[in-house]
Amino acid sequence: MKPDTSRKVDLDDAIDRAVRSMMSAEPRPGMRQRVLSRLHETPSRAFSFLRVAIAGVSIAAIALAVALRVGIKPIDVNEPVAAPPQTMTTPPRQQTPVAAAAPNAAPVPVTETARPVMRSQPVARGLVVAQSLMANEEEDSIGAAAIETPGVSPELDPLQVRALPLIQELASPANTIAPIAVPPLVIPELPVITPIQGPIH
Amino acid sequence: MAQSTDCVSGTEPAEASDLDLVRLAQAGDADAFGELVERNRRAVFRAALAALGSPAEADDVAQDAFVIAYRKLGSFRGEAAFRTWILAIAWRKALDRRKSLGRWLRLTVDPYAGGESDQSTNWIEQMPESTHSQEDTVAAQQLQQTLRTLIRTLPRKLKDALLLAGSGEYTYEQIGHILGIPVGTVKWRVSEARRLLKEKMAAMGHAYEA
């Protein structure tokens, strides 16, 4: 229905009536008895437990989100590649402090053929850290080894170090990437195009 | 100011002041506190109603406010009136509830759970009077419904001041104490709320008397 504009209304009066109608409700009868019956009861702790539970669930959700974020960290294609382009082998154990601390541990022979640049960086990082893990080193020294290893980003943060079990799983033999032979890129010679001379019909 | 006059206990003198009753309640007289509840229940309930818009929630908050007040009665020094003190407690409690996650979830699931539906119309008041035509009555009903909707869409600070002032339960000083603002600010907010409502009504095509 369209508003009636043919007559003027006293809006102040109308507003007063609207407010009064919104505030016209009455409390339920028996409030005195209900309040008096509650005066001596002990404060309920149920709500406190509820708040603690909500806080716990929130913290767990945040922790899970952080863990997932570390696990699927986006790869920076501009980051320098840790391995040569054709075949990548893990660096000798003597090159890292971790390897020096555990000379009896066998090196992990993991190789990877040339892959797109986007894949080689995280695999290299994971291998180095996983290698340190297999040498049964302390977590702190693992982090230090990863940071000091040439070719591995020095921005490896503690959260990434704590995600080592995930990286270890990534570096397990079951996940080793089989070598792929990539033929050299051959660019065929293009025919020489001579410009058309004269009018085009 | 409206005060409840019913249900005064037989042993309590009807003219006992709130402060006298507070002193008795502080000494452990639960009946005296019951009398304070009886005297102030409507004012406390309506303050909560202004904040929440739902009579059921306002009733819960009013009860909680009285229970909290009883537990804190030892800290009441009588510098302000008991009513002002209990109204401030009820208002804080109502604001806590208004901001609570549980309430937000309830309103998300059921938008009418807040009690702010348009079904709160008092139909008896709207029965056509003999001097009014049915068309006038329908137009008045529609105007009231539009105004209620517009009031709900006002900014909270303006809406709170307008509803508290329009309820007829409180003085501007009490409203200022409840909201924690000076009296001048209360008056400005009420005036601003009215101005906004008129502006919106004019934009909707309602002409009104200046």
Helix intervals (H) in chain B: 18-26, 30-52, 55-71, 82-99, 101-109, 134-152, 156-166, 172-179, 183-203
Q: Chain A partners of B143 at a C-beta cutoff of 8 Å? A: 9, 14
d(CA B198, CA B127): 26
ipTM for the predicted complex comes to 0.77
CA-nearest residue to A23 within chain B is: B167
The pLDDT tens digits for B115-131 are 544 444 444 454 445 55
Handedness of CA B176, B83, B156, B68 (dihedral sign): positive
The pLDDT tens digits for B128-171 are 455 567 777 888 888 889 999 999 999 999 999 999 999 888 99
Q: Chain B partners of A30 at a C-beta cutoff of 8 Å? A: none
Question: Which among B37, B101, B167 is the nearest to A35, CB-wise?
Answer: B37
* Among B112, B76, B101, B56, residue whose Cα is nearest residue A25: B56
- The C-alpha R_g of chain A, in whole angstroms, comes to 35
d(CA B166, CA B190): 9
pLDDT at B175: 95
pLDDT at A84: 53
pLDDT at B185: 96
Q: How far is B164 from chain A (nearest CA, A)?
A: 9
d(CA A101, CA A93): 10
pLDDT at A38: 87
Rounded (to 5) percent helix, strand, coil in chain A: 50, 5, 50
The pLDDT tens digits for B68-110 are 999 998 888 888 899 999 999 999 999 999 888 676 777 676 6
pLDDT at B120: 45
The pLDDT tens digits for A125-154 are 545 544 555 554 444 444 444 444 444 455
Q: Report whether pLDDT(B51) > 90.
A: yes
> B63 vs A22: CB contact, 8 Å cut-off?
no
Question: What stretch of H or E contains A145?
Answer: helix A139-148
Q: Chain A partners of B194 at a C-beta cutoff of 8 Å? A: 12, 15
Give the end-to-end CA distance of chain B in Å, rounded to a whole number.
Answer: 29
> A32 vs B206: CB contact, 8 Å cut-off?
no
Both structure tokens of B120: 């709160």
Interface of A with B (CB under 8 A): 1-5, 7-12, 14-28, 31-32, 34-36, 38-39, 54
pLDDT tier at A194, thresholds 50, 70, 90? confident
The pLDDT tens digits for B170-197 are 999 999 999 999 999 999 999 999 999 9
Neighbours of A46 (CB within 10 A): 8
Chain A, chain B: beta-carbon pairs less than 8 Å apart: 120
pTM reported for the whole predicted model: 0.55
| Among A101-110, B37-46, B72-81, the least confident range | A101-110
> B70 vs A19: CB contact, 8 Å cut-off?
no
Domains belonging to chain B, first-starting first, are 16-115 (1.10.1740.10), 130-210 (1.10.10.10)
Question: Which among B67, B122, B201 is the nearest to A35, CB-wise?
Answer: B67
